[in-house]
Amino acid sequence: MNEQKQTVLIVDDNIDTVELLRKRLKSEGYNTVEAYDGEEALNKVYESPPDIIILDVMMPKLDGYEVCNRLKSDEKTKFIPIVMLTAKSDVESRVKGFDIGADDYVPKPFDYRELSARIRSLLMRKETAERVIEEEKIESVRKLIDSLSHEIRNPIISIAGFAKKVYDNLPSGDPNKPYLMTILQESERLERLLREILNLKMIAIGFLENVDPKKAIEEVLEEFEKEIEDKAVEVEAEFKEKPIIYIDKEHFKIVIRNIIKNAIEAMSKSDKRILKISVEVIENYLEIKISDTGMGIPKELIRKIFDPFFTSKVYGPGLGLTVALTIVQYYRGFISVESEVGKGSVFTIKFPLRGR
């Protein structure tokens, strides 16, 4: 994700200055966004936060000091580096800029090489800080999940093991056997849930790489080959384009796997079982549609199916769809669902494509 072009917001009411900076920054590989007054700058930031802001002080509507103060007072934007750019070079003006949170101060006229170096330095500091925070979060999540997994798995193994031993030693027809079978089945269900919880752990420790969606989806379908054959499911796959997506491959496969699994389960009682998968690029997104001819989901339940452990006639309790949604949102994507009772459901997954 860090290989994506970084975005610089240029804020200045002088069109010539904006154009100069835009050309220079683009030549260095940055994306640029431009604003010509303070209000427009705030709107641009809240619409799509940039990686860094070059902010002129003297502007109409809201001056640079006020824009900087508002951004640095907001939890959502306070960590965006701001370079104040102004014709004022006196100490008082600089002190005012730093007091309200500006990260650097460059007087006009400026040497672009110096400004470029300051931008690189601030972006490097920002990336380092974000990496440290992310690593701390990852380590905390990893430790929590490892601890919970260990504490939960051991009792499950003991319960299932002893129940199986008692079950095997009881004579055929013993009235206690059905109860023990229920214990064994519920133990197996808990183990499945534990595996899904471990999938949540994987979200925090992913490895980003260029992934071929077609190949990854085909690998997931191979996992379901026996089940698809046993349940007489007809698979129709259409890959309209062959883009490359920058993502953790296992994350991507977990999303596809969990939705396909639910689609197959939803068709268990259907006369006609067709699983359709299509892949195409729409605007800046990789769009994957997975549809089934299953029972369908009532409108009042669609919003709940991504809730942890939600149970319905279509899907049993679990974390499969919750994990899928969490992964997609982690990559700033979207999942939407269309469904009609008795006819089936369509899950649409969108992942943003970098560099488009």
Could you read off the pLDDT of 53-95 as tens digits, one per residue?
999 988 888 888 899 999 999 888 988 999 988 776 666 766 7
Q: Give the closest residue to 216 by CA, choosing from 277, 283, 293.
A: 277
Look at the chain and count its residues.
Answer: 356
Which of 102-109's residues contact partners 24+ apart within 8 Å by CB, and which partners? 102/55, 102/68, 102/72
pLDDT in tens, 286-326: 999 999 999 888 887 877 887 765 565 455 555 778 888 88
Share of the chain above pLDDT 70, in %: 87
Q: Give 264's pLDDT tier (boundaries 50, 70, 90).
A: very high
Report CA-CA distances (Å) from 278 to 220, 241, 289, 347. Answer: 14, 10, 5, 11
pLDDT in tens, 105-163: 888 888 888 899 999 999 988 888 877 777 777 677 667 767 777 777 888 889 999 99
143/57 Cα distance (integer angstroms): 47
Helices (H), 204-292: 213-223, 225-230, 249-266
Tell which wins on pLDDT, 249 or 197: 249
* pLDDT higher than threshold 70 for residue 97: no
What type of residue is 171? P
Report CA-CA distances (Å) from 161 to 178, 191, 286. Answer: 16, 13, 45
Structure tokens at 51: 């990686």
- pLDDT at residue 3 in the model: 46
Mean pLDDT, residues 24-53 taken together: 92
347/287 Cα distance (integer angstroms): 10
Tell which wins on pLDDT, 164 or 91: 164
* pLDDT higher than threshold 90 for residue 10: yes
- pLDDT at residue 2 in the model: 38
- pLDDT at residue 243 in the model: 85
- pLDDT at residue 94 in the model: 67
- pLDDT at residue 355 in the model: 47
- pLDDT at residue 1 in the model: 36
Residue 234 makes CB contacts below 8 A (sequence gap 6+) with 273, 274, 275
- Match 């690029």 to its residue by tokens: 281
pLDDT in tens, 12-23: 999 999 999 999
307/322 Cα distance (integer angstroms): 6
The H-or-E segment that residue 306 falls in is: none
Displacement of CA 258 from its chain's centroid (Å) = 16
55/127 Cα distance (integer angstroms): 20
Q: Give 209's pLDDT tier (boundaries 50, 70, 90).
A: confident
**Using CA atoms in the order 254, 139, 351, 197, what is the torsion angle rounded to 10 degrees?**
30
Mean pLDDT of the chain: 85
Structure tokens at 35: 């604003």
**Using CA atoms in the order 262, 202, 353, 50, what is the torsion angle rounded to 10 degrees?**
130
191/156 Cα distance (integer angstroms): 7
87/13 Cα distance (integer angstroms): 13
Q: Give 206's pLDDT tier (boundaries 50, 70, 90).
A: low
315/265 Cα distance (integer angstroms): 7
Helix pair angle (249-266, 320-330), 10° resolution: 140
